Every structure is written in structure tokens, then in C-alpha cells.
């Protein structure tokens, strides 16, 4: 894995560093990498901001071990914690850190999880249908496929995969699981190919992509976790602190956009001649809409192609 550590190029790295930079220059600044992965973003944060301390979170114990090896040269400047990112308030409380100056999210599935065949995240190779980011807990993708009611599977494929052919795919899944439970990814990929009409297979890459995305989001509770995590992260920021979020599909990006927009809104009743402080925005948006990767960034790392970057700065404390 060490070779993949050196090869791996974190998505939109320089722009994330530039976005967080104004908040991380002061000695004692604390930055949280909520999605540690292989530690690429974290390593860059520690080397770029020598006065900063880093807290890295990941639910994947394999990722924590590899990132720990990578970040060992930084000694006690890096604190790595086995946690899901919506647990940020508990982690900060345990560490005695009341406020932080920076937060970074790089959402979705990590390069390591995609590259390890036996995790079942990638539809391009046969593997056990697991898809759990934390393999110590929760239901696997196979268990979801084999036990969920048809209507629930249709809902998941539509909501999380934006799959227009959800009913057709689920009908085939239900028919096949009665013959034999699903265990491996290749059988599911083949079923999806056979279930879809020719027209649906002509565009959009691998026809299994949306179903695999939907299963992964369901297995890991990604959207419900994110709904809690982004407001928690904003709450943890000190005034002047900054948050940067990389999303990879429209559902994630929409959630981030809504939290940032609410924080940047003036909430005063209409018609007030002067807006009292408690109604004034607590966030300032750092991007106009979502920033997209450049052709150069995609050439460096093809997984950057669907990325969307949004950022915000905390400009006011909440009122009691």
C-alpha cells in the first residue's frame, strides 16, 4: 500500500489548502480532516501549515492504520480517531478541544476502498458484496439486497442512485434472490446489464454504477450521517474558522449547499430598518456555487471528475 500512498493524488488538493489557509496560519490552529482515508489531504495540511495541529477521523480501521504510518513523521501534531464524521462533537469533547479553525470533508468512497478488490465497492471486479466502510459493524450490501422489501429497494435506487430503471432492476433482483441469495458483485452487475433496455445502456458509463452507489450510501448511512455532520462541523468552527467540503454526487452537494445557504442567510423578519445581530448571517460563502475541477486536476486524478467544492467561513458566534 505504500506505493499507492505515494501515487495517490488527493482531489483538488491545492484549492482545499488555499481555501483553509487564512484560518490555519496562527500557532495552535486545529484542523479536522473528517474523512482521513489514506491521509493525503492530512499530510498536505500538516506540511503546509507547520503551526497547525490535525485531528483525523475515519470509520475504516484499515485506513486509520495506513494513514497513521503515513503521518507518523508529524508526531503528536496528528491525532487520529476511529469515528464516523457525525461524531465530531463527541470527539472534540473527549480531546478537550472547544473550537477548531478548519474542517475538511472529502466525501464518498476512498481510493483505498475502491482499490481493495475484496471490499465490494467496485463494479469492475468480482468481490463479496460488502461495501461497509467500517467492516466491524452494520449490514453488508448483500444483506440489504437479500432482505429488503422490493419497495424499499426501489426507493433506495431512485433516491440514492437516481436510477430511472429502479423498478426493472429490483424486479430482477427479487426474482434472482429467491433462487439463490446474492453474495458477489459480478452476479449483480450481470443481472443489471440483462435487466436494462438497450437504450439505457448506451450512455452514462457502466450500467451498474448507479445501483452500486445507492447500495453504498444505504449500507453506510452516508446521507443521514452527512445531514448531522455538516451542521456539527459549522458549529465547531471558531469565528474566522473555515470549512471546505468535496462532494461527488448531487445529493451530497445539495445537503452541503442547504446548510451553507442557511448559515449565510439574514433571518430577520422583513421590514426591519436595522437588522439586529442575532438575525445576521453566521457564515460567509467562499465559493460562488460549487467549484468544479479543472482539466488538469482531472488529468492528475480521474476520480476528481465529478467533484464539487464548496467552502464557508464562520463570521459570527451563535447567540445564546
Residues with Cβ within 8 Å of 163's Cβ and at least 6 positions away in sequence, in order, are 157, 169, 210, 211, 214
* Gap between the Cα atoms of 190 and 197, Å rounded: 13
Residues with Cβ within 8 Å of 96's Cβ and at least 6 positions away in sequence, in order, are none
Residue 113 annotated as part of some ligand binding site = yes
Residue 68 annotated as part of some ligand binding site = no
Residue 194, classified by CB atoms within 10 Å of its CB into exposed (0-12), middle (13-18) or buried (19+), is exposed
Return the axis-axis angle of helices 222-236 and 88-95, rounded to nearest 10°.
40
Residue 108 annotated as part of some ligand binding site = no
Residue 279 annotated as part of some ligand binding site = no
Chain-centroid distance, C-alpha 289: 18
Residue 165 annotated as part of some ligand binding site = no
* Gap between the Cα atoms of 105 and 268, Å rounded: 30
Residues 252 and 108: beta-carbon distance below 8 Å: yes
Cβ neighbours of 76 (radius 10 Å): 6
Residue 205 annotated as part of some ligand binding site = no
Residue 85 annotated as part of some ligand binding site = yes
Known binding residues are 39-41, 58, 85, 106, 113
Known binding residues for S-adenosyl-L-methionine are 39-41, 58, 85, 106, 113
Amino acid at each position: 500500500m505504500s506505493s499507492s500512498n505515494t501515487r495517490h493524488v488527493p482531489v483538488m488538493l491545492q484549492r482545499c489548502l488555499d481555501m483553509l489557509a487564512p484560518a490555519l496560519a496562527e500557532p495552535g490552529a486545529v484542523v479536522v480532516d473528517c474523512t482521513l482515508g489514506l491521509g493525503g489531504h492530512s499530510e498536505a495540511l500538516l506540511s503546509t501549515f507547520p503551526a497547525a495541529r490535525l485531528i483525523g477521523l475515519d470509520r475504516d480501521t484499515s485506513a486509520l492504520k495506513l494513514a497513521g504510518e503515513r503521518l507518523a513523521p508529524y508526531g503528536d501534531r496528528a491525532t487520529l480517531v476511529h469515528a464516523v464524521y457525525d461524531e465530531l462533537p463527541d470527539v472534540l469533547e473527549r480531546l478537550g478541544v472547544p473550537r477548531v479553525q478548519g474542517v475538511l470533508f472529502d466525501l464518498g468512497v476512498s481510493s483505498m476502498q475502491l482499490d481493495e478488490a475484496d471490499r465490494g465497492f467496485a463494479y469492475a471486479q468480482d468481490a463479496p458484496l460488502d461495501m461497509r466502510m467500517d467492516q466491524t459493524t452494520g449490514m453488508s450490501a448483500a444483506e440489504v439486497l437479500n432482505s429488503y422489501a422490493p419497495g424499499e429497494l426501489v426507493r433506495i435506487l431512485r433516491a440514492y442512485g437516481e436510477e430511472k430503471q429502479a423498478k426493472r432492476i429490483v424486479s430482477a433482483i427479487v426474482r434472482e434472490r429467491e433462487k439463490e441469495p446474492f453474495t458477489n458483485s459480478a452476479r449483480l452487475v450481470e443481472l443489471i446489464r440483462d435487466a436494462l433496455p438497450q437504450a439505457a445502456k448506451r450512455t452514462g458509463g457502466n450500467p451498474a454504477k448507479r445501483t452500486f452507489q445507492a447500495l453504498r450510501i444505504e449500507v453506510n448511512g452516508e446521507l443521514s450521517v452527512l445531514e448531522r455532520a455538516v451542521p456539527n462541523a459549522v458549529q465547531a468552527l471558531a469565528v474566522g474558522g473555515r470549512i471546505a467540503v468535496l462532494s461527488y454526487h448531487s445529493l451530497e452537494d445539495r445537503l452541503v449547499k442547504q446548510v451553507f445557504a442557511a448559515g449565510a442567510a439574514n433571518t430577520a423578519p422583513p421590514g426591519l430598518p436595522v437588522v439586529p445581530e442575532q438575525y445576521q448571517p453566521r457564515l460567509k460563502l467562499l465559493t460562488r456555487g460549487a467549484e468544479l475541477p479543472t482539466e488538469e486536476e482531472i488529468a492528475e486524478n480521474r476520480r476528481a471528475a465529478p467533484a464539487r467544492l464548496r467552502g464557508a467561513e464562520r463570521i459570527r458566534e451563535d447567540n445564546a
